[in-house]
Structure 1
Amino acid sequence: MNPFVGVKQVNSSDDLRKLLDKFAKKPTYYFLRWQDRVSGIVEDLKDFPSPEGQMFNGDRELRWKQQGQGYSVLLLSITDRDSSFNSIDEERDKKIEWQVEQRPAYIYRPDETRFPQKFIVPDALNPIIKDEKNNPNKVKLAQRYFIDRETSTVHFIALIVEISP
């Protein structure tokens, strides 16, 4: 495991979509944000584009935010450096040695009032549904902490998918 944190700019929603498609692998999930609503956790991009959002799977999380006509993209990955992204080390002029820790993530039950409207979660990630038909790969949500080894500061927490054997 070689953690990497990088940034890049893309010029359009088409370029962003190509980037998301490049990094998507099964299972991949998306969380899209608009000023007045969120998508919930979804398995496809039928409502794409959105001004902000994230894509996550077992290897990485990509976050994006619209800036003008383009998008600023943050990559949080445990796979080697992607040459199309600038390491945040280069942005800060300080080499950061990343350490990662993985922890479980939990989804609130639908009867808890944490969101103003019902929050969409695919059956495969819904902790209430525990049957083999809806979750044959035993997919779970998890969090990956990106920690500066020198200072022990948590800089990022990525949402990821964990597959249990």
Structure 2
Amino acid sequence: MKPFVGYKKEHLSVAKLLELIVKLATEPSYYFLRWTHQVSGIQEQPPTEANFPMTEGQMFNQKCELRWKYKCQNTYEVLLLTIADNHDDFIPLKERIKKAGKEIEAWKIEPSNPKVFPSYGYPAYGYRPDETRFPKKLIFPNGLDIRLQQEKNNKPKLAQRYFIDNETSTVQFVALTVEEATQK
């Protein structure tokens, strides 16, 4: 497991973005899409051409989070946060660094204690359906445990992973991820 943060140098067309989403998707993967007037909520179905244009979106699973943001002329800027090592088709946001005379990885992830929290990350929690801070209730798929109840089930659990700059020890990104259903 080696953390990697990278981006695409060129902006992607909708067709290329959809191809990339399919390439990085694993089971289960979840999607969150945003437009200026609404959000999709977390959903299990990947976006289609009919969902575009959108202002931004993300796909997340156990290995990575892919983020995209509208730039211009129906093209999208793309960022990848992953624990699945380098991706040759992405430009690293930061290369290996020297610290205390040693060359080390540019990124580390938290949590770093896999016995307490596996590489999936810290628990993340959804909002109750009656939460009043949002004008409409947020949508979560039935197949995802958003940890509102303490019951044990075999659903994948919502989690978060911190990508930390190894040079400054600053959390630069908080990525959504999924904890395997077999994990406690």
On whether the aligned pair clears a TM of 0.5, the verdict is: yes
1:34 aligns with 2:35: yes
Post-superposition CA distance 1:103-140 (Å, at most 9, x none):
111101111113111211001224357888xx63x311
Q: Is the 8 A contact 1:99 1:148 kept in 2?
A: yes
Percent identity reads 52
Q: Count the aligned residue pairs.
A: 159
1:52 aligns with 2:56: yes
Q: What's 1:77 paired with?
A: 82
Amino acid at match of 1:100: I
Q: Distance in 2 between matches of 1:86 and 1:163?
A: 29
Does 24-33 or 48-57 show the bigger shift? 48-57
Q: What's 2:139 paired with?
A: 120
Amino acid at match of 1:48: N
In structure 2, do the counterparts of structure 1 residues 105 and 128 end up closer, same or farther at CA, with 3 Å as the change threshold?
closer
Within-5 A mapping of 1:7-26? 7-8=7-8, 9-26=10-27
Q: Is the 8 A contact 2:64 2:80 kept in 1?
A: yes
In structure 2, do the counterparts of structure 1 residues 2 and 22 end up closer, same or farther at CA, with 3 Å as the change threshold?
same
1:6 aligns with 2:23: no
In structure 2, do the counterparts of structure 1 residues 150 and 29 end up closer, same or farther at CA, with 3 Å as the change threshold?
same
Amino acid at match of 2:38: R
Task: Give the CA RMSD over aligned residues.
Answer: 2.0
Q: Is the 8 A contact 1:143 1:157 kept in 2?
A: yes
TM normalised by structure 1 equals: 0.88
Query: Which segments of 5 or more consecutive residues in structure 1 lack a partner in the other structure?
Result: none
Structure 1 segments, 4+ long, off by >6 Å, are 129-132
